[in-house]
Amino acid sequence: MRAPALALAAVLLLSAPALAVQPDEILSDPSLEARARAISEGLRCPVCRNESIDESTADVARDMRLFVRERLVAGDSDRAVVEAVVARYGEYVLLRPTAEGANLLLWLMPAALLAGGAGIAWGAVRRRAAAPPPAPLSEEEHARLRELMGDRT
């Protein structure tokens, strides 16, 4: 029983760790740690599929978490930490796209779409409000109505 148990432990250890943030990474200063967590949530693990480094169990995510904490301990501001990470790993790791260059289009898009949609809707509603009421029923339609209502009209 002993040997298979050890083998299992080895397999489990060799496979990816089950937790993202490991206890040994956590900084002793709670306010620095809170900042590190907040920054980590906005950084993407470069080798994972759409996970932040705060959620990821990959080795590179751990390296990035440690790097973020190193910079924080060295006294960097949040912005400086993020810039250092981007300088190292590229714009790809930013889960919140910058509002620079073409990305301005992305950030302005919701408001622009809303303005456009609201404008079209406003025009349509105004037209409906101003439209003439539908024509009264024709004689044929009256006849059909009487038939359907069983002469109750």
At position 36, the amino acid (one-letter code) is A
Task: Please name which of 2, 77, 106, 92 lies closest in space to residue 44, comparing C-alpha atoms.
Answer: 92
**Site residues (CB under 8 A) for another protein, limited to 8-47:** 8-9, 11-13, 15-24, 26, 42, 44
**Residues with Cβ < 8 Å from 120, sequence gap 6 or more?**
none
The stretch among 61-69, 71-79, 96-104 that binds another protein (CB under 8 A) is 96-104
Q: Which is nearer to another protein, 109 or 143 (CB)?
A: 109
Q: Which is nearer to another protein, 73 or 124 (CB)?
A: 124
Task: Please name which of 46, 54, 47 lies closest in space to residue 20, comparing C-alpha atoms.
Answer: 54
Q: How far is CA 99 from the centre of its chain?
A: 16
Residue 93 contacts another protein per CB under 8 A = yes
Residue 117 contacts another protein per CB under 8 A = yes
Q: What are phi and psi of 7, to 5 degrees?
A: -60, -40
Q: Which is nearer to another protein, 15 or 75 (CB)?
A: 15
**Site residues (CB under 8 A) for another protein, limited to 64-83:** none
